[in-house]
Each structure stands twice: as structure tokens, then as C-alpha cells.
Amino acid sequence: MPSNLPHYHLQTGALFEDKYRVLRELSRSERGIIYLSLQESMGRRVALKVLDPGTSGQAPAARERFLREVKIISKLRHPNTRTIYDFGESAAGVAYMVLEFVEGETLAELLRREGAQKPRRALMFIGQAARALTEAHGFGILHQDLCPTNFKVMSTETERDFIKILDFGMARIACADEAQFSSVADENAPPPLPVHSGTLCYMSPEQLRGDESTFASDLYSLGLILYEVLTGEPAITDEQPIAQMRQHLSAEPLALAKLATLPPELQQLVRQATSKSIALRHSSAEQFTEALDLVLKALAARESVETVRVSLNSDSEPMLEEPSTPMTTLIENSSPQAFPEPGDFFAEAYEIKTILGTGGFGHVYFARRRSDQHRVAVKVLTRNSEGGDATAAKHSRRFMREARIVALLKCPYTISLLDFGETDDGLLFHVYEYLDGKVLSEWLQGEGALSEQRALILLRQILASLAEAHEQGILHRDIKPSNLMILEADGMTNVRVIDFGIAKVVSGVLAGTRTDLTTEGTAVGTPRYMSPEQLRGDSLGPPSDLYSLGLVLFEMLTGRPAIEASNTYHIIAQQITEADITLPKTLVLDPTLRMVIDRLLSWDPKRRFQSAAEVLDALPVPIASAPQV
């Protein structure tokens, strides 16, 4: 060990500050010594970090940085960031902090032992770190030393691969009010940490150039770590420091050929995060996390497709995925169901907060994901005994099929499925992104008829969602105002297409599978918004969804339904009559948009647009482009 390291030492068994029993030394460096200790009042093991008062502790700058690290960590509450329990100065003048003791191995140790990780696991690792960075960056805190040795992989009661970010000793403040992190007068404050602080193999080009670090600098480091987790090898492999710097500054740092077998979305995520140009990287940890979640969703979609390909070779009824245990067996053997209540931990991963609604299918809850407190909506199926076991099994298959259909879709204007499965108690569930908004029907009650431009913006978003679904061979079959969620934030209005409960797969990669679980010739949907062919029980294609969308667009522009009959039989009679629905002639509209709506609402599906993409191409260009999600 180098002779210039601190020589301060606490004996094993010593009681520090009458609170912390020293068990053993864990590590030491110029920045301090860390001891595994027992907080006797709580009966828990902690990491006691002290600054040697005999050497570096005498330097005001070192002491100030130690205290600054304390104040930085004390601001952070994210579950993927190491928790600080206590800090102060002992009677002997020793500055100290007491941190959560994180058991497990570092990410570097895991990679040495296991090598390259599968994409899903790699993204789960990095996603947790990115969410922790989102909080830190929100406080203006740059970590500046992200590397695999500063990530601990641990197990919790609910998760096996739980990441903790360690060591904010190199962190610096990017916010304007840096004085809040200084405990001494300005003239005595330490010089700021050098912008080249960090571990060379993971430092950004701007850090190496001596430019000011930004949040994108942390994201560059995170991108290099993602590369390493995916390939099992560091992106920067040269052992010579000068050569390492050259790779960061001028040479292509990544051997992208090693990523060639990975999905293109994942390759692009790594490429963007590790761009030498700050402007080309993700603008924030939040944006990086969103991009990562989209890649995860794409991977889930591919896995679902592969499951379908396997199921096509089965002798059983082809489904998007059949449960390993027949649903009828599950129903016969199940005990009375106990649905979750507020305060319960559901499926071990979600804390139920409140019930949002109850219907014939079951219950929907507002919940928090325990790993990161992310807001989610949990949908739990009620196992209804009416109709017998066969009917209940059919409902269960339909419920799980809905999840697998949504998992295929990644358009930002389609609701995001985060998780689905079955609990140990036999409850089937979906977990969706939580949407804090109003359905279109409720929203229009407050807004009234929309202007042409506002309607166009929403229309383009809905069409984008349907275009992707139709390309996957999926028909929604229930497009209506109550299945379109309107979200308003930061002056922008966006839509999410929700509820694929009666969706049907008719073509594409899933062609040939019988997935709708409805009897041929049976009409399903909401009559007021169903196409004539849907009401007749005929075979359907994308024009059926587009007809329903035309009815919704009619309502957005006029403030009233296109079919106002209150009696269901009257609604059906009006729909199946061979007559086109037309907009009021008094409604002033762009001629191109009126032509589009007339074609959408044509009684004959052959006269309608044949795809959502075709509609998008035909629309007039809006004055203002559609806002980003």
C-alpha cells in the first residue's frame, strides 16, 4: 500500500461515537477510510467512512470536499442511490459519514465472473442507474465517476438484480447556486473539483479536454458501461493512458461490430449515448431512460413474436402464448380470491395506493413500483364464475392475450405495458404506465368542438398508433372517445390509444393464429363507433378501425356524436343502412381534410383508405407540427 495513504486506524471492536461498533476495515484511499460497523441502537450493519485527521484531514480543501460529499448524498433519496444515515464530527475532530452498507458484488466483479449479459438484463441494470441519475441531475449534481466498480449489484426482498450507485466523492455541482454546498466562507472554500475527475476509461471527451462537464458527460459514461455489460469487454481497451485519451477524443471508442448481432434500436441507443458530440447525445437522464424503456419494449415485442412462431408448431389452439398450466385447472384449484387493498404489496413489486375503477373484467389500481417509486396502473382480472369454467378460462386467455398484443406495440401514442403475469395467488394482472389525464369523451365536454388544427394534431397521433398496430396485423376494434386518453402538460396535448381488450390479429407476422377468441360472425365492439361490416360480423381489416376513427374525428370537430340515436337498435339500424355519414355543410374545413373524413366514413370499406399510413399521407399539413411526447 502506498506510504502516503492515511494512517488513521480504528481498532476492531472499537465503539465510534458511542454508536458504531467497528467490525473490520473495508477500504482506504486518499479520500477516507471505510469500516464495516454495527449501529448498535438499530442492530444494522453500516459503512462508516472517516477522514483521517492526521493527514488529508488537515487540508481544508480535502475536508471541505468530504463535507460537500456528505451534503450531496444527503439530498438524494432515490432507491438506487446509496443512503446516508448520519454524519458529523467526532469529539476527536474526525469528520465522518455513516452510509448504507450495500452487500453484493460490484458490476465489474459480476462481468468478470459472468461475461456479457443478455440485452434485457443489461438494460435493467443501466435503467436503474439512469433513474437514479435523473434525480441527481435534478439537483444539479454530476456524479463524474460512473464506472462498473461504482455500481453494486445486490438482492432485495423483491428484486434479484438491484443496482446501487456508490461513491459521490468526485461529484460536482452544475447548478448556479453552488454556495449551498459550502460550509465555509467563500474565501476559504476549496477550489472546485477538476473537470477531469473520474476514471479515465469512462471519462467523456469534454472532461478530458478540460471543458465544463454537463449532464451529458455522465450519460457518456453510462453509455460506455452499457456497452461493456452487453459485450463483456470495456469499450476502451488500451492499457496506456495516452492511448485511452486518444480513443475518447479522436478515435472511434467503440468496436461497434461487436454489437452487430444486437437489435438495431439497442445499437442506436449505445451509439447516441457515446457520441463525442454533446449535442448528439441524449439531452437528459430522463430522455435516456425513456429511450431505454422504448428499447426494452421493442425487445419484449420481439420475444412475443418468437413465442408466437413457436406456438404455430404446436398441436394446441394457436395463441399468442398459452399458459403452461391450463386456465381451467387454475380455476378449479383456486381458492376464493383476495384482491389487493391500498397499502398492500402486489406481486411483490408494486405498492397499491388506491383503487381507480372497477368493472366486469376486474379492478384497476393506482400503484407505485417499489424499485423506483414509478407511478403505474395495475389491472387485475376478476375470475367470474358465471358461464362455467370454460368461459372463465376464455376470459383469462383473452386477458393475457391483450397484454401480449400491447407488448408488440411501441408507438409513443399507444399506452405502454410495463409488466404482466400471474401472482402466487392466481391473480392475473397487467401493469401499465400511469396516465394522468382524461379520456377524450370527458375532455371534449370541457373543450367543446375542436379547431381544425387541434383536431389534426390529435388525429395524426392516433393514426401513428394505428399504423404501427396495423403493420403488426392488429386491429383495435374498439376505437372510441373513451379509449383515447388525453394528456396535457407543459402546454402540449398528447393522446394515448388504450384498451386492446377486444383487439384481433388478422395478418402480418401473426397471420394464421386464432387470437380473437370470438365466434366467427359475432359482432364485438361499441355500436355507436363500429363500422357497418363490424356490426354485420363480417371479416375485418384496417378500414374498419379507420371508419371508427372517422366517427371520433366527426365528434372532435362538431362537439357531438355522428350517430345521436340513444337506443342501441336505432344506432345499429342507422349504421347498417347503405348510406355514408357526412359532415355538416356549414362546418368550415380545409377541403383536403373534408375529403379525408368523407373517405373515412364511407359505408363501403373498399372506398375508404386501406391503411393508417395512407391517411397520414393524405392529410393537410398542420400549421403547427404535432408536439413531442
Q: How far apart (Å, rounded) are the C-alpha atoms in residues 369 and 346? A: 10
**What residue has cell string 423483491?**
158
CA atoms within 13 A on the CB side of 188: 8
Q: Which amino acid is at 415?
A: I
| Beta-carbon contacts of residue 415 (< 8 Å; ≥ 6 apart) | 406, 432, 433, 435, 485, 496, 497, 498
If you count them, how many residues does the chain have?
Answer: 629
Would you call 478 a catalytic residue per the annotation? yes
| Whole-angstrom distance, CA of residue 322 vs CA of residue 334 | 19
Backbone angles phi, psi at 17, to 5 degrees: 55, 30
Give me the sign of the Cα torsion angle 91, 93, 95, 96: negative
Question: How is residue 97 annotated by DSSP?
Answer: E
Report the C-alpha gap between 38 and 355 in whole angstroms: 41
Count CA within 13 A, CB hemisphere, residue 389.
Answer: 9
Place of cell 342501441: 568
- Catalytic residue, chosen from 145, 167, 218, 478, is 478
Q: In which order are the strands placed within the sheet that holds 375-381?
A: 345-346, 350-358, 362-369, 375-381, 428-433, 417-422
Number of helices (H), then strands (E), belonging to the chain: the values are 17, 22
Count the neighbouring beta carbons within 10 Å of the beta carbon of residue 446: 7
CA distance 299 to 61: 48
- Cα–Cα dist 209/196, whole Å: 8
Cβ atoms 226, 107 nearer than 8 A: no
In a 3-state reduction of DSSP, which class is residue 278?
helix
Separation CA 437–CA 449 (nearest Å): 19
Residue with cell 389491472: 379
Residue 206: which region, alpha, beta or left (left: phi > 0; alpha: psi -120 to 50)?
alpha
Neighbours of 616 (CB within 10 A): 16
Cα 466 vs. chain centroid, distance in angstroms? 21
* Number of Cβ within a 10 Å radius of residue 467: 19
Find, among 506, 499, 514, 513, the residue nearest to 611 by Cα: 506
Which amino acid is present at 111? L
Name the phi and psi angles at 410, rounded to 5: -130, 10
Active site residues: 478
